Chains A and B, each alone.
Chain A
Amino acid sequence: MTENAAWLNEQIDQLAQQQEKFTDRAFWLALKQLIAEQDRRADQLGGEVDGRTWSPDQW
């Protein structure tokens, strides 16, 4: 996890903890999970872009 991601997670955890309603807390924590999924997908897509671009055939 990058420093930015850790910081963002901390912000979301704090916000979630401050919510009195269980369902509100659930929403922010689920958003945190979705953001983690976005980060994973961005890594994978970025890696695929790099891999496909790095093609000696096309040099």
Chain B
Amino acid sequence: MKTLVLVAHPHLADSSSQQFLKESLPATGIDWEWLDGQQVIDVDQEQTRLRQADRVILQFPLYWFAAPASLKQWEDTVLTRKFVYGDHRYPLAGKELGVVVTTGMPGKAFQRGGAEGITLDAALAPLAAVAQRAKMIWLPTLAIHQFGYLDESEKLQLVIRYQRYLTQAQPDSLTSRQAWFAERLPEMIDRLPADQQAKGKLIASVFEQKSADLDQLADTLALIKEQSDD
């Protein structure tokens, strides 16, 4: 899978959350682009990058319940009517569109009665409408609230949540999660120093056995359900 990550942030170097996400990018399969870093938007090149991607991620801090201006400028320039649907060819159809949004307020603020009084889904509705118009598949949003308050353990979890959001098959089920880890384990074991590889392999084999056991249990259950009358 090829994922295009478009980052909109006027002061990227000063943003600890954006720097953290950049450091957390998966090693392969990612085309990363900082929208504010371009003097001129090359429309053909941007459209080519979109065509080549299976999943497109829009990543930005929430400014006044919307993305920073650079994303809107990119949309208005690159997503021409003709490109998106004008000639009835829909080159983006079937691709996934996801949003990684950082907010300074906690998650509970984004609901009716909360401090912000609006849900993130409501704030991001214009982007979801673009996805629908382009016949893209809208992914559930990955929201990162109050990054500065995360402790070490939460940051460790965020690394993998973010990597999975960029590259894991949807929907985010246990089966998809197992497949994502199984695909990466051989390379992760290879990267271990020689004296740690045996332990890595042992852990991997237990994980694989548990995956197989779960499959078998699910099969057994399906069989029982099929045979019962209810």
Contacts and interface: CB of A to CB of B under 8 A. Distances in A.
Interface of A: 8, 11-12, 14-15, 18, 22-31, 33-35, 37-39, 41-42, 45-46, 48-49, 52-53, 55
- Chain B interface size, as a band, is 35 or more
B223 to A, nearest CB: 10
State the 7 A-B residue pairs at the shortest beta-carbon distance, nearest first.
Answer: A26-B159, A30-B160, A45-B217, A26-B156, A38-B210, A52-B224, A26-B160
B203 A18 contact: no
Given A26-B159, A38-B210, 20 more contacts: A11-B202, A15-B192, A15-B196, A18-B193, A26-B24, A26-B156, A27-B160, A29-B157, A30-B181, A31-B207, A34-B178, A34-B181, A38-B211, A42-B210, A42-B214, A42-B217, A45-B221, A49-B217, A49-B220, A53-B224
B184 interface: yes
Contacts, number: 86
A14 B195 CA distance: 13
Interface of B: 23-24, 155-157, 159-160, 163, 174, 177-178, 181, 184-185, 188, 191-193, 196, 199-200, 202-203, 206-207, 210-211, 213-214, 217-218, 220-221, 224-225, 228
